[in-house]
Structure 1
């Protein structure tokens, strides 16, 4: 399933700060950020419903994140 989130991640340096945690906590998940989109989209491909976990992780890291 493809999960799509609106975030406030607005730079590559912030993506680089988030990346190790996403890779470690969700190793089988493919993800990417679209920083050019007005909603700063985070897309994930996952076999599991991890919406709550992603929102919590982003909040802990200091970012806003809501499922679309």
Structure 2
């Protein structure tokens, strides 16, 4: 398992809910959260090693959101 962390423009519960079908049904995503109180609206994903940051960025971008990897 590894943790993937992203900065997003997802800023409401309604927008978070719109990602449920995409992220909840992906077999390599074990758990995910979006911190709406963080200035960066951080998306944290616990996933298997079979999924990459690019895969997540593509999935979220296709829903019309801005997303980029957060580094330390």
Please report the TM-score for the alignment, with normalisation by the length of structure 1. 0.90
How much is the aligned-residue C-alpha RMSD, in angstroms? Answer: 1.3
> Which protein is richer in helix relative to its size?
1
* Runs of 4+ off more than 4 Å: none
2:8 matched to which residue of 1?
7
Cα-to-partner distance string for 1:12-44 (whole Å, 9 max, x where unaligned): 000001111101124642100001000000001
1 CA distance for matches of 2:26 and 2:62?
13
Task: Extract unaligned runs of 5+ from structure 1.
Answer: none
> Which protein is richer in strand relative to its size?
2
Length, aligned pairs only: 68
Please report the TM-score for the alignment, with normalisation by the length of structure 2. 0.86
1:52 matched to which residue of 2?
54
2 CA distance for matches of 1:38 and 1:62?
19
2:35 matched to which residue of 1?
34
